[in-house]
Amino acid sequence: MQVLCLAFSIFGYLLLSGCCANEAPSEQLSPDGEWKYVTFDRNCGATTGSNLQVTVLPAAARLPNEAGNAFIADDNHGAAGSIARLEWLAPHTLQITISSKARVFKKESRTGTVEIRYVEQP
């Protein structure tokens, strides 16, 4: 019985993790061309609302089909018109300005050698 439960658990995990897709990716290189950030909406089906995910990675790397490694937020059921704005302040400093109405789920301060600064917009 335990083996059957384990098999169903593994199948459920694989089924759910395989159903998500990164949609509408957009990337911006750092000023020195060494890094990039990629913004995208991660769609995991009907229960997924509008969200913004950010992955920071070396310029030559491809975006993996997984959740953002630096920042994840959503529009709080439409309360936030725009979730966030991003801009490179320096070759290794990224600033993310977040709407105060957005719901933030992930907020890393560093990815690799890139420092990530956050500013809350009223």
Which strand ranges, in their side-by-side order, compose the sheet holding 110-111?
A: 84-90, 93-99, 114-121, 110-111
Q: Is residue 78 predicted with pLDDT exceeding 50?
A: yes
pLDDT at 14: 37
Whether the per-residue pLDDT at 17 is higher than 80: the answer is: no
pTM, two decimals, is: 0.80
| Residue 50 within a domain | yes
Residue 20 vs residue 4, higher pLDDT: 20
Tell me how many domains the chain contains. Answer: 1
Residue 2 lies in a domain: no
Triad 73, 75, 80: Cα angle to 5°:
120
Residue 67's domain comprises 21-121
Q: 98: alpha, beta or left, given left = phi > 0 and alpha = psi -120 to 50?
A: beta
Length of the chain: 122
Cα 23–24–30 angle (5° rounding)?
115
Q: Is residue 12 part of a domain?
A: no
> Where does the pLDDT of residue 10 fall: very low under 50, low under 70, confident under 90, or very high at 90 and above?
very low
